[in-house]
Amino acid sequence: MAEQRRPQGSTIDADAIDSYAAATDAARDPGRFWLSAAREIDWVDEPSQPYTENPDGTVDWFPGATVNTAYNAVDRHVAEGNGDRAALIYVSPVTGREETVTYGELLEQVRRAAGALRRLGVGAGDRVLVYLPMIPEAVVTMLACARLGAVHAVVFGGFGSAELAVRIDDARPVVVVTATGGLEPGHTVPYLPLLDAALDESRHRPRHVVVVDRPEVPPPADRVVAWPVHDWAEHDWAELIAVAEPVDPVPVAADHPLYILYTSGTTGMPKGIVRDNGGHAVALSWCMRHVYGVQTGDVVFAASDIGWVVGHSFIVYGPLLVGATTVLFEGKPVGTPDAGVFWDIVERHRVDVLLSAPTAMRAVRRDDPNGVLLAEYDVSSLRGIFLAGERLDPDTQRWLGQVQPAPVINNWWQTETGWPVVSNFLGLTYFEPRPGSSTKPVPGFTVEILGHDGTPVPVGHEGAVCLRLPLPPGALTGVWGDDERLARTYLTEHPGFYSSGDGGHVDEDGYVYILGRTDDVMNVAGHRMSSGQIEAAISEHPGVSECAVVGVRDELKGQRPHAILVPAIDFVDRADQLRAEVSALVRSRIGPIASLAGVDVVGALPKTRSGKIVRRCLRQLLEGAELEVPPTIENPAALDDLARTLGPSPRG
C-alpha cells in the first residue's frame, strides 16, 4: 500500500481542544474544525478540502482523499511499535473461554482473512454478509473487509431466516461468513439451518459460504442443503485461513462505503444505513478522545453486540482507531453467571470506560438491588459509564450512581448518526448531570426542537428533535440501494434538518431531554404528552423495576395513557398496592389530565434484541388489534404472558 501520512497545517488544533465551549466555538466552522480533526488518522492522499455540498443539504466529507480504515485501526499501531499491546480481549462466560489478542496478532489474522476473502473473489466494493456470534472471527472479518475496500453487512447472529433472506437480497453479498452456531444461557442457537432456510428463500445466491466451526455447536447431523449445491461453495474458516496469502490494505476514496447496517424496524423493508470510510474514521477518532475520554492504551468495554451500531462504533472501530483495548463479551448482563459479570470484567481487565444500555442496568439492578454483588469487585478503574439505546430513566441513573463511584452518563444517538449526538463528556467539560437529560449537544451537531410548522418551539416546550444540516462526519451517507430513501425518510419533513423521529425539549441552560419516539406521543383531550414523560414519573416509585406507557383509544378523550409495569423484587406480591400508588403518583407529578386508563403488573416487558420495548405490540394487545410481532423480538414469551394478563379480568 502507498505510504500513509497525516495532514499537516490547520488553523484549528482540534485535538488540543479540552473544553466544551472551545470545541463548540471551533465546530461553528465545520470545514476547518474537521480538517483539523482529520490529522488524527493516516491518509494515503490527504484531504485538501473538508466537504462538497449536495442539493439535498447533505455533504460528502473529504473529497479527493484516500484512506484505508483497517490500516488506521491495526497496522499503524504496529508500525508505531505497539504490536505487543492488547487490542482485543475476548470474554465468553458461556464457553468459559478468555483470550487476549495483541495488535500484532490481530494484524496477522486480518491480513490472512483478507487474503482468504480475496481468494474467494472479494474485491473493493463487493459485499460480505457477516452472520456471526460474538467471537473474535467476527471482528477479524469486519476488518478484513475494510482492508480490501469491501463492504461488510453484519446481521445479528441468530436472526430469523426470513429477515436474513431480506438482507441477503438487498446487500447481494459475494460471500457469507457464518458459524455453526451461537450460545445463549442454557441453550445453543444453530445458525446453519437458519442460513440454509434464508438462502432457500432469497433470490440472490452468494458465490461462497464460509463457516466458523464452533465445537460447542456442531452442525446438525441431518443437515440437508435446500438449494442447488452448484450455486455456491461452502468452506471451513480455519482451512481457508491456513492457506491464505496475506494482503496489504487497499486505498479507497474517503466516501467509499465501509459498511451497511440494517435498522431493525418492526415493519416494512429494513433500511441499510451506509457509512463511509474517511468521515467515519475521523469522527470516531475525535469522539473516542473527546466524548468518552479514551486515549491510547485505555480499556473500553462496550457491552453490546456487533449486530448493532454500538458494536460497530465502540466494540470494533472506535477503540482500535485510537489504539485502545476493546472487550468482546459473549454473554448477558445477568445469568452468565449472575448480575456481577460486568463488574468482574471491569476488575480483572481494569476497564476505563463501560458502555451499556439502560435495559441491561435495570436487569442488573433487579437481580442485585442493593449492589451486594457489585461490592465484591474493585471497579475503581472506571472513569465513566455511558448508557444509550433507549431512554434512561432518572431512577436507574441515580441508583447506578449510588452503588458505584464512576459518573453515569446518559447519551443519545442513533444508528443513523453513528456516534453520540447529545452527551456529557469525559474528554471535554464535564457538566453536572440533570435527571432525564442527555446533557449537551456534542460539538459538530446542532440540535433544534421544532414544532409542527417547522419553527423552533419555546424553551422547555416539547417538539421534534431535529439536527441542522449538514451532519458532521460519521453520519449516514445514504440508504443502500435506494438513493431517494435518505431524503424521503429523514430530510423532507423539516427542510434543512435531519428529522430524528424522537421528541424532546431543551431547558434554559441548553440541556437536552429526549422523551422517546414522536409516534409515542399521545393526544389526551387535546393535550399532547409523551410516553417518556409519564414513564419518568412512574419510575420514581421504588416498587417499579421497569415500565412502559402507551396511548390507547378512548371515546371521550381520544387517547388515555395505560401503564405496564415490572415490579421490583420487594413488590412482586404487592401488585394492588403498586397499581394504586402508581396511579396516584402520575396524577401528582403530571396532573389529572394524565390519569391512567389502567395499570398492569407483569413479569417482563417484550423487547427487541437491542433492548427496545415493543410499544406497538403493547398498544395492539390493549386495543384488541391484530398482533404484529417484530422479527427482532428477544423474548416472545413475554408477549404471551402479557396477552394472558390483558385478558377479561378488570385492571387498574
Q: Which helix (H) or strand (E) holds 143?
A: helix 136-148
Asked if residue 471 and residue 388 are part of one domain, the reply reads yes
Query: Average pLDDT over the chain, rounded to whole?
Result: 89
For residue 149, give the C-alpha cell. 475496500
For residue 80, give the C-alpha cell. 508505531
Adjacent-strand bridge partners of 514: 504
Q: Which helix (H) or strand (E) holds 163?
A: helix 161-171
Q: Which amino acid is at 94?
A: V
3-state secondary structure of 51: strand
Cis amide prior to 470 (ω within 30 degrees): yes
Q: Does residue 266 surpass a pLDDT of 50?
A: no
Asked if residue 389 and residue 253 are part of one domain, the reply reads yes
What proportion of the chain, given as a percentage, has pLDDT over 70?
90
pLDDT of residue 128: 98
Read off the pLDDT of residues 509-558 as tens digits, 9 standing for 90 and up: 999 999 877 666 666 655 556 677 788 788 888 888 888 888 887 766 66
The backbone torsions φ and ψ at residue 577, rounded to the nearest 5 degrees and listed phi first, read: -60, -40
3-state secondary structure of 72: helix
Q: Does residue 211 surpass a pLDDT of 80?
A: yes
Read off the pLDDT of residues 117-140 as tens digits, 9 standing for 90 and up: 999 999 999 999 999 999 999 999
Domain residues for 556? Answer: 515-645
Q: How many whole angstroms separate alpha carbon 623 and alpha carbon 626?
A: 9
Asked if residue 492 and residue 526 are part of one domain, the reply reads no
Asked if residue 327 and residue 442 are part of one domain, the reply reads yes
pLDDT of residue 121: 96
pLDDT of residue 232: 65
Asked if residue 456 and residue 566 are part of one domain, the reply reads no
Angle among Cα 228, 233, 236 to the nearest 5 degrees reads 135
pLDDT of residue 23: 95
Q: Does residue 222 surpass a pLDDT of 90?
A: no
- Does 45 reside within a domain? no
Asked if residue 492 and residue 519 are part of one domain, the reply reads no
153 in Cβ contact with 262 (< 8 Å): yes
Q: Which of 70-84, 165-179, 309-323, 618-632 has the lowest mean pLDDT?
A: 618-632
219 in Cβ contact with 180 (< 8 Å): yes
Read off the pLDDT of residues 386-418 as tens digits, 9 standing for 90 and up: 999 887 888 889 999 999 999 999 999 999 999
pLDDT of residue 227: 46
Banded pLDDT at 627 (limits 50, 70, 90): confident
Among the candidates 464, 496, 528, a domain finishes at 496
3-state secondary structure of 13: coil
- Does 13 reside within a domain? no
pLDDT of residue 214: 96
Cis amide prior to 337 (ω within 30 degrees): yes
What proportion of the chain, given as a percentage, has pLDDT over 90?
64
CATH of the domain at 392: 3.40.50.12780
Query: What average pLDDT does this structure show over 282-295?
Result: 98
Query: CB-based burial of residue 37 (10 Å sphere; 0-12 exposed, 13-18 middle, 19+ buried)?
Result: buried
Strands 384-387 and 353-356: parallel
Among the candidates 496, 527, 542, a domain finishes at 496
Asked if residue 367 and residue 256 are part of one domain, the reply reads yes
- Does 31 reside within a domain? no
Read off the pLDDT of residues 575-622 as tens digits, 9 standing for 90 and up: 889 999 988 888 777 766 677 888 988 888 887 766 677 777 888 888
Number of folded domains in the chain? 2
- Does 32 reside within a domain? no
**pLDDT: is 612 or 61 the higher one?**
61
Q: Which helix (H) or strand (E) holds 242?
A: helix 237-243
Asked if residue 621 and residue 479 are part of one domain, the reply reads no
pLDDT of residue 596: 85
Q: Does residue 357 surpass a pLDDT of 60?
A: yes
CATH of the domain at 640: 3.30.300.30
Asked if residue 187 and residue 218 are part of one domain, the reply reads yes
Asked if residue 408 and residue 441 are part of one domain, the reply reads yes
473 in Cβ contact with 449 (< 8 Å): no
Q: Which of 52-61, 250-259, 611-620, 630-639 has the lowest mean pLDDT?
A: 630-639
- Does 135 reside within a domain? yes
Angle among Cα 492, 494, 499 to the nearest 5 degrees reads 85
Q: Which amino acid is at 183?
A: L
- Does 509 reside within a domain? no
pLDDT of residue 159: 80
Asked if residue 481 and residue 519 are part of one domain, the reply reads no
- Does 451 reside within a domain? yes
Asked if residue 591 and residue 452 are part of one domain, the reply reads no
Query: What average pLDDT does this structure show over 80-89?
Result: 98
**pLDDT: is 554 or 94 the higher one?**
94
3-state secondary structure of 218: coil
Among the candidates 496, 528, 562, a domain finishes at 496
- Does 8 reside within a domain? no
Dihedral (CA of 24, 29, 31, 36) sign: negative
Banded pLDDT at 226 (limits 50, 70, 90): very low
Q: Which residues of 529-557 are buried (b: 16+ CB within 10 A; e: fewer)?
A: bbbbbbbbbbbbbebbbbbbbbbbeeeeb
Q: How many whole angstroms separate alpha carbon 86 and alpha carbon 299?
A: 9
